[in-house]
Every structure is written in structure tokens, then in C-alpha cells.
Structure 1
Amino acid sequence: MTRQKHIHVNAFNMNCVGHIHHGLWTHPRDRSTEYNTLKYWTDIARTLEKGLFDGLFIADVIGYYDVYQHAQRHGVDLTLREAIQLPVNNPWLIISAMAAVTEHLGFGVTATISAHNPYTFARDVSTLDQLTNGRIGWNIVTGYVDSGARGLGQEGLDEHDRRYDRADDFLALAYKLWEGSWEDGAVIADKARRIHALPEKVHPVVHNGPFYRANAIHMSAPSPQRTPLLFQAGTSSRGLQFAGQHAEGIFIGATTPEAAREASRKLRQAAVDAGRRPEDIKIYAGMAVVTGDTQAQAQEKYAEYLQHASAEGGLAHFAASTGVDFAQYDLDEPIPFGKSNAIQSAAAAAQAQGWTTRRKLLEQFKLGSRYNTVVGDANHVADELTRWIDEGEIDGFNLTRIVVPETWEDFANTVVPELQNRGRYRTAYEPGGFRHKLFGQGDRLPANHVGAQWRDALAHKAGQAAASVQADTKGGPAHPLTTKPIAV
């Protein structure tokens, strides 16, 4: 008998007041306005680890949403009143506190390519991977709002596919730093001999890419995973290509299991096209869950939540995702979705679902977002989640917050035991880092991943260069770090 696969679950959050379900911060039991306190985050981390969640997936955006009602004070009034991901704080600075109160919980943290330099970013990631003992993941984002580009001193966003070209080059340099600059065994910390690192095992990287250049040694010693677990969201044609080559965890926005299956098959084929295996990626769908001890109790809670939701807040968020100012259209006026420089898959999904008027969109956002919502007791929720996994051919869910921390406490206390009884959810954490917990094959990138090619390449080239110099000097000593750097 084939063993049924476990359902993977990340809590989906953001370092802000309003994340996905807009307006719910006004609920009397919600703690989202405490987002700028450490206790808020450490309490969440403890709850998630108790519920055996894979990780906390933290979204981020560089910029703010100013597309909806753009003619009115540059489109920020509603964003500010409803706290639509504004204000938003840095997600990376809260990880150490949560890691200190947990042992197993992973952290998938978003960073936008255009807001970072790969040389310093590689050090930031290595530092956190060391401090968390290998529990760091990076959600790779190319950016999608013009306001962020303007804040970074640009006229506006680069063209959609060019942003992915930049991301490819960013990762090429980051891989070399993480995987190749320091060999395994470079750090010996030998106090008696006064040798912390062996110079012959540390190699400079010379990178001359279309967007980034570097000539330096990675500043950090190797971390448990070296390269963080790599997440990505984006199913445009260019996004598929990028995901197939780089991503290990992929976040999709599907409205039905059938849509999830279609997206999953495309993504797994993209991985195969890149020389990987279909099972080398884990696919997560966004999902909201409202549960209780009985079906009636869950429905009552859902009705209560609806009273606090802001459908217009959800519409304003979606406007930024598609690049379309829906406020300019009457309620029943057809909305023409053209090619977008924002999130192309968001506009495509709206068209595919027939959300082509403002009235239809507002109906979709009645809980403040367009995410699928499952309402019911533990048995009903477990039925629906397993149906999505089995029919949609996905691996898990990014579980959105509706009311914090109630959403995740309810899931951990009500749904998790039911899934465990069915053999569909872990009953204990496996040892190891974030990557090993998901794939069970160690903390390091698998050999068939594009980043793994740099694992021994720099050491090999340095050895060749040293041998060449030694031959030129007729057997004289040659220090690897005093020879000409190796361009790779």
C-alpha cells in the first residue's frame, strides 16, 4: 500500500498590521497591531512549533500600494486608513528572537532582489542560517510595485522579464559565495596552532555578470545549509522558467484543486526541463481556514469575521498586484485586463475566473482577500485539505492569518490532530535543518540543483592556478590567496 504523503503547512504572515485578510485587524481578539513588539512574534513562533508547522513564511514588499484611487492623493489614503501592508517593517530583523524560543520551526523570509546587493545579502543569510542552525529559507522576489522602485531611486520598475534576468544574475553570484568560496573543513579553530581558518581552503570569487560584479571572498564561514532553502512565487512563463531552475518551495495562487493541478504539473515539468526531478520541489497553495469544535461553531465564527473584513481593502491590494486601478470603473463596467508589468499571473487568474467587474471582484474579497477559505469542523477541513493535496497534486499550504493568533491556534488544536489521526501530518519533527525536514536528504542543495555546481569548482580552479604558478616559479611556494583570483 502506498504511503499517503504528509501535508506541509507554513503560517503565512507579514511584519505589518494588515496582510491578506484586510480589515481583520479591527477584530477585538486580533493582535496584529502588536506587530512591532518581539513578544508578538515569539508568541506566534511558540504556537507554530507546538502545532508542528513546517515554518513561518513571511511576506514583504518594498514600496506601498498606490494604484487604487490613484488620482486621490496619489492613491495612499485607503492604504493608510486600512493598514494595507503599510506600515511594514523589515522581516529579517525578527528572526533571531523567534529562533531563540524554538528548536525546529523554519523561517521563509522574503527579500526583494532590487533592494539588496548579493555580496552583503549573502552574509546576512549566512549569519541567520548559523544562528538558527540551518532553519533559514529565502522567498525570492523580483518586485512588483512602482512605488518601491521610486523609493530606491529608479524611475519605475524594470520590465517584467528583465527583473527575472537580474534575479538569475543575483543568484549566480550568491551561489558562488555560499557554495564555493569556503571549502568544507576550512574552519578548524585550532587555538594551539593559532589557526582559525586554513587559507588554502578559502577562495575569492570573481563574477562579471550582466547586472552584478564582485571580486572577493565570502565574508561568512559556511552555515549549516550554505544556500538557504529557496522559495519563489510566480507562474508567468518567465516565472516558470526561473522556478524550474532555482526554487525548492513554490507558492501558487489557485482557486480550485483543478487549477492547482494544472499549475503543479507545469512547475514540475519546468524542474525536469532544468535537469531536476519533479519531487525536488514542494508546492504550496494559499489557504484560509476557519474552524471550530462543530460545523455550526465554525460558521458562526466565519460570520463574525465577515463583519470586520474590508472588501475594498482587498480590492486595493489586488489593484497593486495587477497594476489596474479598479476605482476608475463603475460597479458593473467590464474591466479590460491588459498585459501587466506587475504580477502577470494575478491578472490572468482574474480573467480566467470571470472577475471582470468591480462588483464581482468585491464579492471575491468579502473576507478582505481572494484566498480560498475552508469553513468547518476538523473533519470537514481535513477532508478539504486532503482533497486539494490529492487532486491538486500539491504538497501543502501557506495558511493565511485571519485573526492573530486565533487562526493558527485553532488549526493546531483542532485540525492538526484530525490530520494526524489520518496519517497525513507529522507527529514529531525530524532532526536537521529546514531543507532536510522538507526533503529528508540532508541540509545541503542536492547535486542536481544549479547552485551545487559551485561546490567544488572554485577549489578545483584554485588548485589548477596554484599548480601553474608553482610551475612558473620553478617549484617556489604559491599561496592560493596571493595568486590571481579565479574568474568563474
Structure 2
Amino acid sequence: MTKKITLGASQLMSVNFYSSAWTDRRNDTKSFATLAYWQEMARVLEAAHFDFLFFADVIGFPSDENGIPAAAIREAVQTPAHDPVTIVSGLAATVDKLNFVVTSSTTAERPFMLARRFGTLDHLTEGRIGWNIVNSDNQTALVKLLGLGEVTEHDTRYDRADEFVDAVTKLWEGSWEDDAVVFDQAGHTFADPEKVHSIAHHGRFFDVEGIFTVVPGPQRTPTLFQAGASSRGREFAARTAECVYMQEATVEAAQTTIRDVRERAARFGRRPDDIKILNGVSIVVADTEEEAASIRADLAAAPSTEALAMHFLGWTGINLLALDASKPLSQRSEFGHSTLDRYEDGPTVGEIIDGLRSSLGGLKITGTPESVAQQMIDMVEQTDLDGFLIEPNFGGPEEYRVFGEKVVPLLIERGFIDEQTEPTTLRQRLFGGSDGHINDRHRGAEFRVSQ
């Protein structure tokens, strides 16, 4: 049986993304702050049979002990970054079948407020919403912006995230029984009080007690995404996520990560197919191999040295421009562990910056429509990958339109993508099923209210 490829489009509500190619003439992100821009994006993605639009997000900006370098503002690296959750209901009203995933931080948020927001969106999107769980890597800026006092140690942030997930799933799953709402106007009874329960969570990081003030939506718990790459991050993903996002650049690396995540999930009593694993990818498609190679070369040449260094600063808190380019990187920080681990073999700071030009964004697929389709299929078949998060190159809806017109029909023809004809919840789109709820093996199932 042919394995179906899940397709997501990875976006940031900004003018810029990993590629830092916003200065290219093909860029079309100037109106990123408008609803109309994202409505057009949603229409293009739905027509191209994408499963969901994924909003990455950052809180803060590249910074160190000296603050934000001017280069970060000049090159629009992780700033501006507008709040994507504000537009999701508008996009859900624009298209019928496309789903939406929004990043939100367990370090910056409070459990009740996040549960309330996503519970409301579950209704407004008719179940087409997912939460990408992050614990926020940009700790230096986060501490200053939110007044957190001090940088939180890496594994402690995951401990907090674990407890955060327990608290929100208690609210989503444990407060309202399925038939609690009766809407009996004559009897002056909106809901049966016997079927609405107060939940109590008292932990190391959070205290939450009371009823949940949002009635259950189509999914109850939004579909859960996560992208931790460290060992602790993979452990969290294996226990929590229904869809894991990774960013491996080779078949061998993808095989290793996928096998590791699935083995960890099994130790939590989950099945391999309980988790969809997607890989980030930059796709360049053109009518000829030569034209595609030329476009890829333009992408590699677009970011300045300053822009590359500012991306690294945002990921790790280390400003490469302030270091001796001829010496190896010796600094560590409390975030960006998976990024820093790549440089343990001792490349110089200058070599790291040069390497970012080709490695920015991870996996790259380049070629004609037939070649691109085959490379995607090969990656799935050789690694047990479930699909791709396709990243923007120059920015704007047009590159997704080209992909949808040139590559997607080939994937449909070969049986790797189904044409979606009816709306479903996001969880049903990914896993099937009749009710769109978390399955019995998920950690949140233990908090279900008894009927």
C-alpha cells in the first residue's frame, strides 16, 4: 500500500524566514501584516492539496548581553514577527478544507489562557486547529521582554512544558462531559451542572483549579505538534506529540531520528503510526534542471554574512560577528543545544558562517517537476518519513502555487497524495477516525472526564 505524503507549509508572520532571501526581486512578503496576504496564501495552499498551514513563531529577537544588534533589525532576522493566532479564524472562514497549526510557548503562556484560546479556535475552525508546542529557545530576549528574571535551564524548560501539557489537557479533556450542554431554554438550563467538573492541577510550576470556561470543540484537544531535536526534546515529543517536525538534511540523519522517536514512543505505550513525522524542506522546481540549479544558486547567494550570523544568534544566543573568525566556537548557552551540537568537531567561526549559507533550513530538493516528485517519494520510502513541511524560499504564495501546479499532480497520479474533497478536523485529516479526538494511548487520555 502506498504511503500517503502529508504536506504542510511552514511560514512565519514576517517578511523573512530561514532563507533570508527577502531582498530578491522575486520576494512578495511586503504585505505580510495584512489579512489579505494570508487569505491568498490559504487559497493557494488549499488548491494545492496541502494538509495544513503551519505558523512558526518567535517571541523576542536575536540578542546577547549587549542587546539586539543593528544587523538583526536591518536584515529583518526574527523581527518583525507578528502574532499568527490572531488571523487563524479569518483564514478558516476563507477556505473550507485547509487546516492550521500555530506555535505557542509554554514558557511565555499560562495554561488556562492557552487552553481557552485554542479551545475557542477549535470551534471557530471547526476542528481544523493544531498547537505546535515550544518552550521558547530565544531565552535572552524572552527574559527581558516578559520579565522572567533569569534564563531557564534547558531540561527545566522541558519539565515545565511537560507539566503545562498536563494542565491544559486536564482542562480540555476533564471538565465537560460530552452531553453536558442541553440548552433547555424552557427549563433555564444551558448545561447540566452535574456534568461540568472542576479540575485541579497543583504542580512544581503551575496551579490551576476550576471549571474550563470553553465548551468542548470538535477535537477537544487540538492536534499536538512538537519539534524538539535534543534528546530531552525527543523524549517530550515521543510522549506528547501527534506530529513531530524535524529538520534533517540527509537520508541517514532522517532514518536515525525517526527510528529514535518511534522507539521512544513505544516505551510510552504508543504505536509507530500514532505519530506523523515530517521533515522541513526547501523545494526549488523549474522546467529544466539548469534553471532549477540557477534558482538554488540565487537562494544561496541572497543572505548577507550579517544575516547568517543573526540567525545563529537568534537560535543560540551567540553572536558570531563578535568572535574571532579564525578560532573554533567554544561558547555554549542554555538554548540552541541541537544547533551547537553540530559544531562540536571544531570548525572555526568563519567556517560556521560560511556553512550556514548552504545549510540554512536543512533538506533541499531541487530539479524538474518529475525529479522533485521522485526525490520526495524516495525520501519517504527510504526513511519511514510521513511528509514534509515546505519552507518559503523567496517568500510569498507564488512558489506554493508553482509547486501545486507542477509537482502535486504527479504525486496524486502516483498515489502519494489524495485529493481532499470534504472538510475534516485536523486530527482526522492526519489519522482518520470518526470523532477527531486523541486516541486512548495518548497521555491526555488519562484526564478524560468519566461519563
In the superposition, the TM-score normalised over structure 1's length comes to 0.88
Q: What residue number does 1:181 align with?
A: 175
The aligned residue for residue 129 of structure 2 is 136
Q: Which runs of 5+ in 2 are unaligned?
A: none
2:269 is matched with which residue?
275
2:227 is matched with 233
Q: How many residues end up aligned between the 2 structures?
A: 448
Alpha-carbon shift at residue 430 of structure 1 (Å) = 5.4
Is the Cα–Cα contact under 8 Å of residues 96 and 423 in structure 2 kept in the other structure?
A: no
2:284 partner letter: V
Of the three residues 227, 243, 249, the one matched with 2:243 is 249
* Corresponding position: 1:346 with 2:350: no
1:201 to 190, 195, 211: 195
Work out the CA distance in 1 between the residues paired with 2:149 and 2:187.
55
Q: Which residue of 1 is the match for residue 33 of structure 2?
A: 36
- Counterpart CA distance in 2 for 1:324 and 1:386 is 37
Asked whether the 8 Å contact 1:91–1:109 carries over to 2, the reply is: yes
Which residue among 254, 258, 263 is the counterpart of 1:260? 254
Displacement of 1:380 in angstroms is 1.1
Aligned residue among 199, 211, 218 for 1:217:
211
Distance 2:297 2:97 in 1: 35
Deviation at 1:333, TM superposition (A): 2.4
Query: Alpha carbons of 1:218 and 1:156: their partners in 2 closer, same or farther (altered >3 Å)?
Result: same
| Residue number among 82, 100, 103 corresponding to 1:107 in the alignment | 100
Q: Deviations for 1:199-257, whole angstroms, at most 9, x for unmatched residues?
A: 11101112111111122110100010010100111122211221111111111121201
1:93 aligned partner, one-letter code: T
Residue aligning to 1:49: 46
Instruction: Give the C-alpha shift of residue 178 in structure 1.
Output: 0.2
Correspondence 1:64 to 2:48 = no
Task: List per-residue Cα deviations over 1:352-411 (Å, max 9, x = no partner).
Answer: xx6822343333333692422211111111121112212222111111101212221121
In the other structure, the counterpart of 2:118 is: 125
Distance 1:75 1:196 in 2: 52
Q: Which amino acid aligns with 2:278?
A: Y
Amino acid of the structure 2 residue aligned with 1:291: V
Does the residue aligned with 1:220 lie in a helix, a strand or coil?
A: coil
Offset at 1:286?
A: 1.0
Q: Which moved more, 1:317-326 or 1:302-311?
A: 302-311
Alpha-carbon distance in structure 2 between the residues aligned to 1:277 and 1:331: 47
SS of 2:428's equivalent? helix
Question: In structure 1, how many angstroms separate the alpha carbons of the residues matched to 2:348 and 2:342?
Answer: 14
Cα distance change, pair 311–134 in 1 and its aligned pair in 2 (3 A): farther
Distance 2:305 2:44 in 1: 29
Matched residue SS, 1:32 = coil
C-alpha distance in 2, partners of 1:429/1:330?
57
Partner SS state of residue 115, structure 1 = coil
DSSP-derived class of the 1:25 partner: coil
Q: Is the 8 A contact 1:374 1:384 kept in 2?
A: yes
Give the C-alpha shift of residue 431 in structure 1. 4.3
For 1:209 and 1:330, how far apart are their aligned partners in 2? Answer: 45
Deviation at 1:306, TM superposition (A): 4.1
Given that 1:232 and 1:247 are in contact with CA atoms closer than 8 Å, whether structure 2 keeps it comes out as yes
Q: 1:32 to 1:343 in 2, by over 3 A?
A: same
Give the whole-Å Cα distance in 2 for the aligned partners of 1:406 and 1:152. 37
Report the residue type matching 2:15 in the other structure.
V
Whole-Å Cα distance in 2 between the matches of residues 12 and 372 of structure 1? Answer: 14
- 2:9–2:391 CA contact under 8 A, matched in 1: yes
Q: Who is 2:373 aligned against?
A: 382
State the secondary structure of the residue aligned to 2:239.
helix
1:171, CA displacement in angstroms?
1.1
Q: Give yes or no for the alignment of 1:79 onto 2:77.
A: no
CA contact (8 A) 1:285 1:396 kept: yes
Cα distance in 1 for partners of 2:116, 2:76 equals: 32
* Alpha-carbon distance, 1:144 to partner: 1.4
Match of 1:310?
304
> SS at the partner of 1:206?
strand
Match of 1:408 among 368, 387, 400: 400
Query: Percent sequence identity over matched residues?
Result: 37
Q: Which residue of 2 aligns with 1:463?
A: none
Letter in 2 for 1:341: E
SS at match of 2:167: helix
The answer as to whether partners of 2:301 and 2:357 remain within 8 angstroms in 1 is no
- The aligned residue for residue 12 of structure 2 is 14
Q: Deviations over 1:133-165 (max 9, x none)?
A: 001100101111211122111233211111111
- Counterparts of 1:43 and 1:280 in 2: how far apart (Å)? 32
Verify the 8 A CA contact 1:305 1:367 in the aligned structure 2: no
Q: Deviations over 1:447-480 (max 9, x none)?
A: 11110111134x6xxxxxxxxxxxxxxxxxxxxx
- Greater Cα offset, 37-46 or 415-424: 415-424
Q: Which amino acid aligns with 1:260?
A: A
More divergent stretch after superposition (369-378 vs 176-185): 369-378
Consecutive unaligned residues of structure 1, counting only runs of 5 or more, are 460-488
Alpha-carbon shift at residue 429 of structure 1 (Å): 4.5
Q: Which residue of 2 aligns with 1:393?
A: 384
In structure 2, the residue corresponding to 1:347 is in which secondary structure?
helix
Q: Which amino acid letter does the alignment assign opposite residue 238 of structure 2?
A: G
The amino acid that maps onto 1:270 is R
Q: Would you say the 8 A contact 2:280–2:361 is kept in 1?
A: no
Aligned 8 A contact 1:253 1:285 in 2: yes
Amino acid in the other structure paired with 2:428: H
Q: Contact 2:198 / 2:211 at 8 angstroms: preserved in 1?
A: yes
For 2:81 and 2:204, how far apart are their aligned partners in 1? 31
